[in-house]
Structure 1
Amino acid sequence: MYQMAFKFFSEDESTFFDDVNSKQLENIPGLEPMAIDFKFFQAELSLFSFHLPNWKPLFSFLLSRFPISFSFLLSQGSDFNKIFNKIKLTKMLIEEEKMKISRQQFLKYCGLGILAPALVEKLSPAAPRLAAAREEVKKMKIKKIEIYTLDVPLISPFRIAIGTMYAANDILVKIITDSGLYGLGEACPFPPITGETQESNIAAAKAVREILLDKDPLTIEALVDGIGNIVHSNPSAVAAYDMALYDLLGKSSGLPLYKLLGGYRSNFETDLTTGLNTPEKMVESVKESLSLGYRQIKIKVGEDPDLDVKRVRMVREAIGPDIPLRIDANQGWSVPQAIYALRQMEPYKVQYVEQPVLASDIFGMKTVKEQSPVPIMADESLFGPADAIKLIKEEACEYFNIKLMKAGGLLNSLKIAHTAAAANIQCMVGCMLETRLGLTAAAHLVASQKNIVFADLDGNSEHKIDPIIGGIKVEKGIIYLPEAPGLGADVDNNFLKKMKQF
């Protein structure tokens, strides 16, 4: 009696249902409402309606008008969620003579709400993909969690005011579900900042592993809250789990993560950081950064104030007057030193300084802010949303530096960003020495939010090897987000085989 024609496409979901409107659907005769309980599909609809907000009425109409056929077609694709993103419903073709199926035959095929295979073959050219899909629309459960070391050597030691890094000794968390989907997350501890080590991260990750088994991985807030309550002194370990859960959310919806989180932009500019060294060697480093196409420069300071002023002067002379120049003191100065150094740097157009004084000295940072010609960005003083509120209340800084490894992942990072936006404080997203897996997660955060206007996502620039497949691409200082579902990044299995598993 009826044939539904579907056309597959690879366009952006913004064109979903372009050729169909409710009036066209209203004119389809013979499919009066059928008695079927489709609350489950309404629940699925609520999950996806936030990224297709204009089409919720259309989805509701389709489900209420002919719930058996449409719900079945949606639920039976080889990947339920890809239908929302990969299929464009161009029109409903009524070919009454071709199908020769009476309403009685139609209801017979429908039975208790499940179309018979013979009818499915006539209803959709997607029939070869329909066999095993119903199980995929059920709630996923976490069935297994694997923990690995993730050790990446550096090209050379990377020195900042509070310590020197010789390698990226990270961990990888892999959450595997009963649907076959898995999510990946990375923890990148740095003891001088977060007080963690690789060993403590492994212990923390193992401590919560059993608790997560058989849980729904899409209940992210509940799971991350529970993990954080148990291992709150290991925010990087919490971030690894958080990251893996968000990866699963994106994969289960068929969307890249940045679109699920807000989708404000799909690419953005990052700076490239030069570590502490002699002024001459730092100049060589920033010139190399410029040769690679970077147009935003960041350098480390925080030692002797006079030497730091010399570093800034020589770097500014090397890069010219128009390249944005940012500095990071990493808590290296006292309050008087910070005020002195920043006043001396005024001629050199420093865009902002990160964490000039001790993280615990909020009053001291406010004092520097009130007397400095250079704007202040809070970094080590800012871990979670409560810190953001305190900094806002004390008016201690102009900017926030959000890091997944400090905040415990994307969930709390989003809360910080939203808190900052409400207070009209712009943000940057920075990093430790993550691989491109962790950097990709951070990049999804940057791309999702209007209020995140700066990025310092160069942690892998010092790595000797790159064990990540997919993920962000960097071209002349511009980071491009992957369009694959979830994080859009994976770890090379050959590399992973060399790591320790727990």
Structure 2
Amino acid sequence: MSTHIIRAESFVCRAPIAVPVVNAFGSMAERVAVFVRLTDADGVTGWGEIWSNFPTIGAEHRARLFDAFIAPRLLGRSISDPAAFWAEADRALHLWGLQAGEPGAFSAALAGADLALHDLLARRAGLPLWRWWGGTNSGPVPVYASGLNPGAQALAQVEEARAVGHRAFKIKIGFGEARDIATLRPVFDGRQADERVMVDINQGWELPAAMRMVRVLGEFPLTWIEEPLAADRPAWEWAQVAGSCSAPLAAGENLRGALDFYQALAGHHLGVVQPDCCKWGGASATLPVARAVVASGRAYCPHFLGGGIGQLASLHLLAVVRGNGMLEMDANPNPLRSLLIEPILRVTDGMVAVPAGSGLGIEPNVEAFDQYVTSRTSRDA
């Protein structure tokens, strides 16, 4: 089966929020997303999302990279193998990214296009993405509430997430020992028997602080400790931290390239691996990595904290690979996510059902998020 692409569009969306989303390196006072749509000669469409979470000022730039560098490679072509297209484009764009000093932005723009291609071909086949990728298990997928702010907000957000069906929660720390402990103790005091709690430092510690803090955190039965170090710190530092803490380490959202993931697996310092399909690799490169993660005995937990298209793509990826991973679901207000996923995703006892519709499971209604669109590009073959 092939598709002949005749149109490529991007939509930059911005939605202000009342309470900023805070982490160890900054905060966001608005939610942004870059959605892309491909249309083929038969009028079938496919949707993808380009990672643009932080800094939010980069959203328009990534959309322009898609428009200038990715769309021309798609338009007028008949494509039957998205993975082959991704590999070809990734090689071609490699030097552009190096020359520009920002390979990550090019990788994200290509990832969004790759997801849209997969969605389009799955729709043509009349299959949900998870089944089109070879999945056979139609059972629900475990999820966790993510992005919970530090301080008193953490407990309130845990209670809100629990009320809508979550049974696992990830809290942001890395703001100093006293504040981090004050954040976690009330959460664990109120934790129910079947609930899990994780923490995310967002690369906020250097080795001495990480070594000290993972021992301090030993008083809490954490499911994992995420990004205690910068993603580019040497493997021996990660191994040293992993050997000093009682909870598994998690990372992967800031790795880019299959080699980086396979080296991390070979190093045995990660118990949870978290590639972000909108940030690098799309589905074409993420699926082989995810399968390798599960085959190695580690947990594949797709990272995601953006709009609704990437959320659904991440769900389908986990539904294919399974293992003992969980799907990350942002608990903070974001209409760019909720407008798209709420019609088909409901959390029940910490699980969500996999979509049964073709492709992502929805046909996004552009008018639904039109009020948030601040920039739009369109190219035709």
Q: TM-score, normalization: structure 1?
A: 0.67
Alignment of 1:164-179 (within 5 A): 164-179=27-42
Residues 471 and 226 (structure 1), Cα distance of their counterparts in 2 relative to 1, 3 Å cut = farther
Is residue 2:195 matched to residue 1:313? no
Contact 1:384–1:407 (Cα < 8 Å) also in 2:
yes
Which of 78, 94, 100 is equivalent to 1:216? Answer: 78
1:461-485 per-position Cα deviation (integer Å, ceiling 9, x unaligned): 4214644278641233422222111
Which of 444, 448, 451 is equivalent to 2:316? Answer: 444
Q: State which drifts further: 203-212 or 449-458.
A: 449-458
Alignment of 1:229-378 (within 5 A): 229=91, 230=93, 232-234=103-105, 235-261=107-133, 262-278=135-151, 280-361=152-233, 362-378=235-251
Give the corresponding residue for 2:64. 203
Give the corresponding residue for 1:125. none
Supply the distance in 2 between the matched residues of 1:155 and 1:447 (Cα, whole angstroms).
33
1:405-453 per-position Cα deviation (integer Å, ceiling 9, x unaligned): 232311111121122233222211120222x222111100111113352
Contact 1:440–1:489 (Cα < 8 Å) also in 2:
no
Q: Which has the larger radius of gyration?
A: 1
Aligned amino acid, residue 213 of structure 1: L
Q: SS where residue 453 of structure 1 aligns? A: coil
1:2-53 per-position Cα deviation (integer Å, ceiling 9, x unaligned): xxxxxxxxxxxxxxxxxxxxxxxxxxxxxxxxxxxxxxxxxx6xxxxxxxxx
Which of 346, 357, 362 is equivalent to 1:484? Answer: 357
Residues 247 and 493 (structure 1), Cα distance of their counterparts in 2 relative to 1, 3 Å cut = same
Percent identity over the alignment? 22
Supply the distance in 2 between the matched residues of 1:472 and 1:425 (Cα, whole angstroms).
29
1:194-247 per-position Cα deviation (integer Å, ceiling 9, x unaligned): x98112211211122122112123320122123333264323212210111011
Contact 2:33–2:53 (Cα < 8 Å) also in 1:
no
Contact 1:149–1:172 (Cα < 8 Å) also in 2:
yes
Give the corresponding residue for 1:389. 262
1:299-357 per-position Cα deviation (integer Å, ceiling 9, x unaligned): 11112123212322221012245411111111112222222222222232111111111
1:69-116 per-position Cα deviation (integer Å, ceiling 9, x unaligned): xxxxxxxxxxxxxxxxxxxxxxxxxxxxxxxxxxxxxxxxxxxxxxxx
Give the corresponding residue for 1:463. 334
Residues 296 and 490 (structure 1), Cα distance of their counterparts in 2 relative to 1, 3 Å cut = same
Residues 225 and 168 (structure 1), Cα distance of their counterparts in 2 relative to 1, 3 Å cut = farther
Supply the distance in 2 between the matched residues of 1:497 and 1:372 (Cα, whole angstroms).
47
Contact 1:141–1:178 (Cα < 8 Å) also in 2:
yes
Contact 2:144–2:167 (Cα < 8 Å) also in 1:
yes
Q: Provide the aligned C-alpha RMSD in A.
A: 2.3
Contact 1:264–1:449 (Cα < 8 Å) also in 2:
no
Q: Point out 4+ residue stretches in structure 1 off by more than 6 angstroms.
A: none
Give the corresponding residue for 1:228. 90
Contact 1:471–1:488 (Cα < 8 Å) also in 2:
no
Contact 2:112–2:282 (Cα < 8 Å) also in 1:
yes
Give the corresponding residue for 1:185. 48
Is residue 2:25 matched to residue 1:162? yes
What's the CA shift for 1:274?
4.5
Q: SS where residue 404 of structure 1 aligns? A: coil
Which of 147, 150, 154 is equivalent to 2:10? Answer: 147
Residues 269 and 345 (structure 1), Cα distance of their counterparts in 2 relative to 1, 3 Å cut = same
Give the corresponding residue for 1:67. none
Contact 1:470–1:482 (Cα < 8 Å) also in 2:
no
Contact 2:127–2:358 (Cα < 8 Å) also in 1:
yes
Supply the distance in 1 between the matched residues of 2:330 and 2:53 (Cα, whole angstroms).
16
Contact 2:253–2:276 (Cα < 8 Å) also in 1:
no
Residues 470 and 217 (structure 1), Cα distance of their counterparts in 2 relative to 1, 3 Å cut = farther
Alignment of 1:115-130 (within 5 A): none
Contact 1:312–1:345 (Cα < 8 Å) also in 2:
no
Aligned amino acid, residue 482 of structure 1: P
Residues 440 and 432 (structure 1), Cα distance of their counterparts in 2 relative to 1, 3 Å cut = same
Supply the distance in 2 between the matched residues of 1:205 and 1:419 (Cα, whole angstroms).
29
Aligned amino acid, residue 346 of structure 2: V
Q: SS where residue 462 of structure 1 aligns? A: coil
Contact 1:417–1:451 (Cα < 8 Å) also in 2:
no
Residues 381 and 241 (structure 1), Cα distance of their counterparts in 2 relative to 1, 3 Å cut = closer
Q: How many residues are treated as equivalent by the alignment?
A: 360
Q: Which runs of 5+ in 1 are unaligned?
A: 1-43, 45-138
Give the corresponding residue for 1:399. 272
Give the corresponding residue for 2:100. none
Supply the distance in 1 between the matched residues of 2:356 and 2:370 (Cα, whole angstroms).
27
Aligned amino acid, residue 32 of structure 2: N
Residues 381 and 249 (structure 1), Cα distance of their counterparts in 2 relative to 1, 3 Å cut = same
Q: SS where residue 211 of structure 1 aligns? A: helix
Give the corresponding residue for 1:4. none
Contact 1:144–1:177 (Cα < 8 Å) also in 2:
yes
Q: SS where residue 77 of structure 2 aligns? A: coil
Give the corresponding residue for 1:68. none
Q: Highest relative contact order (Cα 8 Å, sep 6+), 1 or 2? A: 2
Supply the distance in 1 between the matched residues of 2:62 and 2:358 (Cα, whole angstroms).
27
Is residue 2:276 matched to residue 1:415? no
